[in-house]
Amino acid sequence: MQESQARILIEKYRKGTLTDEERILLESWYLKLAEETDLPEENADRLSAAIENLRPPAIPGRKTPVRPLLKWAAVAASVLVLISLVTVYRLDHSEEAVVSSDPLLKEDVLPGEHRAMLTLANGSSISLDKVGPGVLAKENNVSIVKTGDGEIACNVPVDSEKPAGKVSYNKLETPKAGQYKVILPDGTRAWLNAASSIRFPALFPAGERVVEISGEVYFEVARHRKNGKNIPFRVRSGAQTVEVLGTVFNVNSYADEETTKTTLLEGSIRVIDNVHAGKTVVLKPGQQTLLSTKIQGPADSPGLNIKEVNTGSVVAWKEGYFRFDGVGLPELMRQLSRWYDMEVVYETTVADHEFVGQIERNANLSKVLRILELGGVKFRIEGKKIIVTD
């Protein structure tokens, strides 16, 4: 039988005992097979994401598998390639200089910084950028300490009693152009992006950890066990609840975005659609759920969608970058609006641009806008407004 001979040939290949002639035969066949085989039917976006997520293998013999900066290598490379795309576009559409002379400089705007307001259970508020490091408050046994620039921590004595009865809540809120980090009483770390908030108990009650957020928050959840069982950590935001054990994830739930996006970086989380009570989705690392923020009731909600994403782009904000991965102009402008505390006004219809690339969040607004102008969008700054012009 011919097929059995084919098997023998393959087996010889496997053992490395092919003759030269047989090797030529096998390699020739491979070319024919490659000629004839089609790519499986594929969702292009998913395939793109899969390719984008391919990282160089960790190099053996180093302490850390990948230098943090090395991760940007791939991005930086593709960004530079894309810069060329822009230039091609410019050549096609106009002969004028790539950079316009700069009226933007006249009214420049500084980037956001470490700013937040802490409201304690007793109702008093502390503007965190106005106080120095040290103990800010004591509630029962728990002290809230400003540990450094842009960070507060809730320090709980090891043997403290879990509160019985009424739980009191603290709230940390960042304004537009603000960002802050908090270490919660259970050791979970949360980073708040601009215009975001987190409401958390002064001390988590036994066997339960629940916080409420708005805006965008990145979590590194500490694992806690009680009587041999993991204590879940729940994050409520708008129409959804995220339930986790110990893991790293990002929730983007700005009310002015079309969807709440929950992205998992490590571990496992369960996302619960509160509108469709009980409808849940379990995420794997690298996946993101999307849930419409514009829903009134179960009837008009499409529920939770899952997609594969480049997680590096999702949490770049925490590392100090805007990073865009095929983002439209309106979404991009909303991000700028939050970080520079500016209103965005469109004097022109929004072209169907797609933005790919990254820029530092500590750049002045004029710098960001000038870079965006390389692609053909024009801006003007007037007071607290960014005006998108023709």
Partner 1 sequence: MYLIFKVHLPFTVCMTNYLQHSDQALITLLKEGDEPAFAELHNRYKAVLFIHAYRMLGNEDEAKDIVQELFTTLWTRRNDIPAIYSLASYLYSAVRNKVLDSIARKKTEERYMRSLALFMEEGENITEKEIREKELTRLIEREISLLPERMREIFELSRYENRSYKEIAEELNISDKTVKKQVSNALIILRKKLDVALSMIFF
Question: In the range 94-123, which residues lie near partner 1 by CB under 8 A?
Answer: 97-99
65, 73, 207, 343: which one contacts partner 1 (CB under 8 A)? Answer: 73
204, 219, 355, 379: which one contacts partner 1 (CB under 8 A)? Answer: 355
Determine, following the binding rule CB under 8 A, whether residue 387 of this chain makes contact with partner 1.
no
Token digits of residue 316 = 């770049």
Q: Are strands 178-183 and 151-155 parallel, antiparallel or unpaired?
A: parallel
Determine, following the binding rule CB under 8 A, whether residue 13 of this chain makes contact with partner 1.
yes
Determine, following the binding rule CB under 8 A, whether residue 39 of this chain makes contact with partner 1.
yes
- Give how far Cα 34 sits from Cα of 28, 30, 39, Å: 10, 6, 10
Q: How far is the CB of 72 from partner 1 (least distance, A)?
A: 7
Q: Cα(158)–Cα(20) distance, rounded to whole angstroms? A: 72
Taking CB under 8 A as the binding criterion, the range among 44-52, 174-182, 236-244, 270-278 that sits at the site for partner 1 is 44-52
Determine, following the binding rule CB under 8 A, whether residue 331 of this chain makes contact with partner 1.
no
Taking CB under 8 A as the binding criterion, the range among 3-11, 131-139, 178-186, 299-307 that sits at the site for partner 1 is 3-11
Q: Is 292 within 8 Å of 276 (Cβ atoms)? A: no
Q: How far is the CB of 317 from partner 1 (least distance, A)?
A: 15
Q: Are strands 269-273 and 378-382 parallel, antiparallel or unpaired?
A: unpaired
Helix 20-36 crosses helix 2-15 at what angle (to 10 degrees)?
110
Determine, following the binding rule CB under 8 A, whether residue 375 of this chain makes contact with partner 1.
yes
223, 234, 353, 378: which one contacts partner 1 (CB under 8 A)? Answer: 353
Determine, following the binding rule CB under 8 A, whether residue 357 of this chain makes contact with partner 1.
yes
CA-angle at 178, arms to 174 and 184, nearest 5°: 50
Q: Cα(154)–Cα(140) distance, rounded to whole angstroms? A: 12
Determine, following the binding rule CB under 8 A, whether residue 300 of this chain makes contact with partner 1.
no
326, 346, 350, 382: which one contacts partner 1 (CB under 8 A)? Answer: 326
Q: How far is the CB of 5 from partner 1 (least distance, A)?
A: 6
Q: Check residue 294 and report its DSSP letter.
A: S
Determine, following the binding rule CB under 8 A, whether residue 359 of this chain makes contact with partner 1.
yes
Determine, following the binding rule CB under 8 A, whether residue 334 of this chain makes contact with partner 1.
no
Q: Check residue 377 and report its DSSP letter.
A: -
Q: How many CB atoms lie within 10 A of CB 234?
A: 15
Q: Cα(9)–Cα(334) distance, rounded to whole angstroms? A: 61
Determine, following the binding rule CB under 8 A, whether residue 83 of this chain makes contact with partner 1.
yes
Taking CB under 8 A as the binding criterion, the range among 77-85, 173-181, 193-201, 272-280 that sits at the site for partner 1 is 77-85
Roughly how many angstroms between the first and final C-alpha of the chain, as a whole number?
Answer: 72
